[in-house]
Structure 1
Amino acid sequence: MVKFLRVILFCLLFNSVIIIAQEMTVIASTDTSSYTVGDYITYSIEIRHDKNFAVYIPSVKDSIKVLDFIRALPVEKKSVGENVVEYHRFIFSKYDSGKVTIPSVQIAYTKYKSSNKLFISTNPVSIVVHTLPVNTQEDIKDVKEPLKLPPNWLLIAIIILLSIGLIIGGYYLYKRFKNKKEGTLEVVNEIKIPPHEIALNQLHQLEEKKLWQQGFIKQYHSEITEIIRRYFEDRFNFRALEMTSAEILAVLSYMEESKPIVDIANRFFSNADLVKFAKFQPMPQVNEEMMAQAFQIVNNTIPKNVEVEVTQNV
C-alpha cells in the first residue's frame, strides 16, 4: 500500500514538472566552451513561454560576478504558435585563466492577469579560459634604451612665441572690457517643464490625431509607447528608450515610487508587444484602454511635492 502511494505521488510531481516546463523554459549557453584570456564571451539565455506571460530579466551584470561584463546585445523575440521565444545575449570577458562556472540566473515571471511572481532558474554553464601561448624557444632580449631625439629648437621657439602672444592678447582683452562701462546683463532663467506635463500634453496631441480610427494602428501604438518610455526615462532617470518591455518592468518593480503602476504598465506593454511582435490586430476598445492606461501611468507617478491638476482622457 505504501509503495503504491509513493508511485502515485511521484507521478503527480512528475506531471507538475512537465506542465511547468511546457509553460516556461529557460536555457543558458555560451558560444563555445574554450576561450583565451581577454576573448569576448557571448552568454545567451533562451526563454520560451506562453504569450500571456510577462518576463522580468534581472541585472545580469550584477548576477554574474565570475566574469567581467562588457555590454548587453539587443533582445530578439519571435512567436512560435501560442508561445513567445526570447533571446537575451550578453558580452563578457575574463582576464584570468582557469575553469569558470557561470552560476544559475533566477528569472521572475507572472502569468496573465496575475501579480504573483513565479521564479525559474537557468542552468549553470562551465567554460575554460586559457592563457596566451608563450614561445619558450625564442631568446630573451634585453630591453632597448629609450631613443634620444635632438631638441627641435624651431618647435620650441614657435611654442614660446605663441605663449607670449596669448598672454599679451589676454591682457589686452582684459583691459578693454574692464574699461568699458558696466552694462545691464539680462539673465534668462531656463524654464524646465516637468516630465509629467510633457507626457500629458503629448498624449492629448496623440489622442487628437485619431490615428487608430483612421487605420494607422501600428503608428498609434509606436507613438504611445514612445511617449511612456520617454516619460519613464525623464521621470525615473533610467534608459527606458533603449530597454525592452521586460527590462523596464523589472526596473519599475524595484523602485518605490513606481511600484503602484507596475501592473498597469505590464498590461500596457503586453498589448504593445503583441501588436509589434505578434502582428496582433487589436479591437478598438484595446486602443482606448491603452490610452487610458497611459494617462493613469503618468497621473499616478506625479511627484507629491508638485501641485498640479490631474489630467484625464475624455
Structure 2
Amino acid sequence: MKVMELSSVRCRYRLRLLVGIIFCLAYARPVVAQQNRTDSLSVTVAVDQERITIGDAFQYVVTVVSPLEAAIRWPDAGKTLDGFDILSFDHDGPYILPDGTHVDTLRYALTIYTTGVQNILPLSLSCILEDGSELFAVSDSIPITIVSVIDDEATDIRDLKTPVDIPASIPWYIWVAGGVGLILLAGVIWFIIRRRRQRDEAVEAFVDSVRPPHERALDELDQLARFQWLAQGRVKTHYTALSEILRRYLSARYKIAAMEFTTTELMVAIRRLETPYDQVQSINRLLQESDMVKFAKFTPEPDPQSQSIQNARGIIEQTRLVEVETTDSDETSTGEVIAKAEDVKHET
C-alpha cells in the first residue's frame, strides 16, 4: 500500500514539473522575440498595372524595410527611370514598425512612348549600420507591356492612295523667290532677337558685377531653398549646388581660385589671408561635409541637412566685407549704375 502511494506521489510530481516547463516555454518565447532586432535590408517593388497604352501613366511603388539606425543611400530622383519618364515622385516615411524596423515607400508615376515589352530593371540599395557594416538588397525586375493606341486587327485603316498630279498654276520661280524671301525674313528676325538677348544678358551681367559678393550668394541660397531637393531625397544634388555657391562666394570675396582648389588647398589659402580661426573652421566643416556627400556617398543626418543652408548663410554673414562710409564725391549712386548699364546696352 505504501509503495502505491509513493508511486502516486511521484506521478503527481512529474506531472506538475511537466506543466511548469510548458508554462515557462510559453511565456519565455515572446520575450526572446522582443529582444531580437532585424538587421536586414529588403526592397520590394510593385506596379498597379503591367499592361498599358503608350503614353499612359502607371504607378511604380518601392517599399524598403531597413534596420532602425541604418543610413540608406537613396537613388537620385532624376527625370527618367530605366527608359521610363518620371511624371512625379513621392518619398513617404520612414515609419517605425513594431519589430523595430524602418519602412520607407517611394512612389513613382511613370510613362513611356515606345511600344513592346520594356523592363524596369532591378533596384539596388545599400545602407550602413551603426557598427559600420553595410547591407545590400536588390529588387525584382518588372516587365511592362506597352501597346499602341491602334488595334493590330483594325480594318478601317487603309493604305495611302497614289499621288495625284496637281497642275501648276503659279510659275516655279515665284515659289523660289517666295522661299528665299521667307528665309531672309527669318534670318533678320533671328538676328534682331539674338542682338536683343545679348544686350539684355550684358546688362544683367554688368548690374550683377557691381553687386557685393555676399548679396549674390545669399540670393543663390534663397533660390536653392526653393528647389526643396532635400525633401525630394536628392541630397547629393543639394550639397553639390551648396558647395558651388559657397566656393563662388569665397572666390569673389578673397580673390582666390576657390573653384579650382581642393578643400584642403582652399583652407590653406584662406588661412594665409589671416581669416579668424572660427570662420575657417565653419567653412572647412561645411565643405568637408559636402565632399563626403558628393564623393563618398555619405548621407548626413536629417538635422545637419536642414541646417546646411543656414550654416552657409552664417559663413557669408561672418565673412562679408564691411561697408565703409564714403563721401558724396566717392559714392556711386543708383542713377550712375543705371546709366552705366544703358551705356553697355548701346555698346552691344
Short-chain TM bin: 0.3 to 0.5
Alignment TM-score, normalising by the size of structure 2: 0.41
Alignment TM-score, normalising by the size of structure 1: 0.45
- The structure where helix makes up a greater share of residues is 2
Q: In terms of Rg, which structure is larger?
A: 2
